[in-house]
Structure 1
Amino acid sequence: MALRTIIIIETGVVMPKFSANLGFLFPDLPHAQRIDAAAKAGFAAVEWQWPYEATIAELKDALTRNKLVALGINAPNGDKSRGENGLTALPGREADQAAAFDHALSYSVALEGSAIHTLAGVVPADQKDAAEKTYIANLRSAADKAANAGKLVLIEPLNYRDAPNYFLNTIEQAADIVGKVGRQNVKIMFDCYHLQIMGGDLIKKYERYRELVGHVQIAGVPARAEPDEGELCYPEILKAFEKLGYTGWIGAEYKPRGKTEDGLSWRKAY
């Protein structure tokens, strides 16, 4: 089923535009070949977590030959062997954070992407105050660099089950941080999977914070598999988001139950 065009039905409603998150989809392929697979599967846009094992030239060539739109990319998240999950809120790691963001920005600019997600990091409870000050300062620096290149900076609340001790957990906290940063190009990644685990009420939360949302992502809850199982009815949720004014891409960021191509029938609901 091809979804590479926006379909306008008689009521004038615009159907969702789905982006393939190549951090999770087509995991058996090298990063550049995942772009080919996404195009073959009918996606019109792609986004990434950490594609840095591929060169910019490889990714750009794949995007060009498939005529796909590049969206967001994650900045490098530090040393996973040390349990790091981002650097932005870590006091004393400002230089590492700046280098990581600059690396992501170089990819985003070359690939003509739209946004960079810079992860906050794991912070002990007794360091929350210092971490917030560091987070705000680093986000301002990142936002100024991104603004010069015409990019958004995204921050994303992660649920405490998948990301214990992660600094940013709720959309309320994220909205507070965005306000304190005071940069127009800092927005929230509205990941329905994480936010459902952290309290749910997704439609009301989107309605409240819609002016701060820069991107939406979906996955089944609680398994983080295809968005056709679990406790969320995405056709109704996305219809509500659309009615509330969301016209952006919907990132398919889920872990396939099997081969990615075999699980794409969830799109038929749209």
Structure 2
Amino acid sequence: MGLAGQRYTVNLSMLFTELPLLDRPAAAAAAGFGAVELWWPWPGEPAPAPGRLDALGEALEKAGVRLTGLNFYAGLLPGPDRGALSLPGAESDRFRANVEAAVEFAGSLGCRALNALYGNRLEGVDPAEQDELALENLAFAARAADRIGAVVLVEALNARESPRYPLVSAAGAAKVAHRVDERTGLGNCRFLMDLYHLAMNGEDLPAVIDRYAPVTGHVQIADRPGRGAPGTGRLPLPGLLERLGAAGYDGWVGLEYAPGARTGEEAFAWLPREARRPRRHD
């Protein structure tokens, strides 16, 4: 299977960023893709005016691309923040306010995966307090996501780029997802397996795939080092994706990489055009 046999979804928060947000869905479609994903598009606005959501929804529908994944509000991303749900006070309130907006928007477009970044550790705050708040907020998000048949994703990041982020292993992120499922009884909290971040942390990727594929709700890829397109670094991505398929994962693979100097369709020269639209359907 390798690179050519996957269902790819393009992360519009990292690719086609030379264009305004509302032009990116059409650019993805013109490059041959049928699916896209996004971070929360408005970092400072957990609950933007309905008109802004409507405009983005219309751009996606007009382009004929499916929204497969959306981040909940995560503070300033890109920027210094790595999530809001474990931060006491105003940021936790913003996360909760965002849950309703994000779930309603995702549901209107048939999006069934919502990524909840955990948040950085804060000086002077007990980590156990942050962890309990995170569990409460993830359970809140999971219950809301259940209304539209969606999963909530918990992601491990890499310690080099996110030194204050506490989930820096597959085991740590999967454990949090399991604890959320225990609290809600819904079974809709899953691990987001980002192969780039896990490689940066020095994890044994074949072992991670074999162990955690059954609890994985989404996969994202970029090459290492540099977080560039597949083939620009040293990760054996074709073999890793083949192993994921053999382990039972048949979900979306998010293209979440930095295109470097390449823009537009040039950023996807590594992937034949005929392999860009999914051959399988949910």
Give TM-score, length-normalised by structure 1: 0.88
Does the 8 Å CA contact 2:214/2:248 hold for their aligned counterparts?
Answer: no
Amino acid aligned to 2:266:
D
Does the 8 Å CA contact 2:31/2:264 hold for their aligned counterparts?
Answer: no
What SS does the aligned partner of 2:87 have? coil
Length, aligned pairs only: 259
The separation in 2 between residues aligned to 1:77 and 1:197, in whole angstroms, is 22
What corresponds to 2:88 in structure 1? Answer: 91
The separation in 1 between residues aligned to 2:226 and 2:79, in whole angstroms, is 26
Distance 1:267 1:81, change over 3 A: closer
Q: Which runs of 5+ in 2 are unaligned?
A: 43-47, 276-282
What corresponds to 1:40 in structure 2? Answer: 30
Deviation at 1:257, TM superposition (A): 1.5
Matched, 1:267 2:271: yes
Give TM-score, length-normalised by structure 2: 0.85
Deviation at 1:201, TM superposition (A): 1.6
Deviation at 1:203, TM superposition (A): 2.0
What corresponds to 1:177 in structure 2? Answer: 176
The separation in 2 between residues aligned to 1:171 and 1:85, in whole angstroms, is 17
Matched, 1:55 2:52: yes
Distance 1:83 1:239, change over 3 A: closer
What SS does the aligned partner of 2:107 have? helix
Please list, as runs of the form range in 1=range in 2, the aligned pairs for 1:214-225 lying within 5 A after superposition. Answer: 214-225=217-228
Amino acid aligned to 1:173:
G
Deviation at 1:254, TM superposition (A): 0.3
What SS does the aligned partner of 2:269 have? helix
The separation in 2 between residues aligned to 1:205 and 1:80, in whole angstroms, is 27
The separation in 2 between residues aligned to 1:106 and 1:222, in whole angstroms, is 37
Please list, as runs of the form range in 1=range in 2, the aligned pairs for 1:194-205 lying within 5 A after superposition. Answer: 194-205=197-208
Q: Which runs of 5+ in 1 are unaligned?
A: 1-8
Q: Which of 5, 8, 19 is the aligned partner of 1:29? A: 19
The separation in 1 between residues aligned to 2:227 and 2:270, in whole angstroms, is 14
Deviation at 1:65, TM superposition (A): 2.5
What SS does the aligned partner of 1:65 have? helix
Question: Which structure would you say has the larger RCO, counting Cα contacts within 8 Å and 6 or more residues apart?
Answer: 2
**RMSD across aligned C-alpha pairs, in angstroms?**
2.4
The separation in 2 between residues aligned to 1:242 and 1:82, in whole angstroms, is 34
Does the 8 Å CA contact 2:223/2:232 hold for their aligned counterparts?
Answer: yes
Deviation at 1:261, TM superposition (A): 1.8
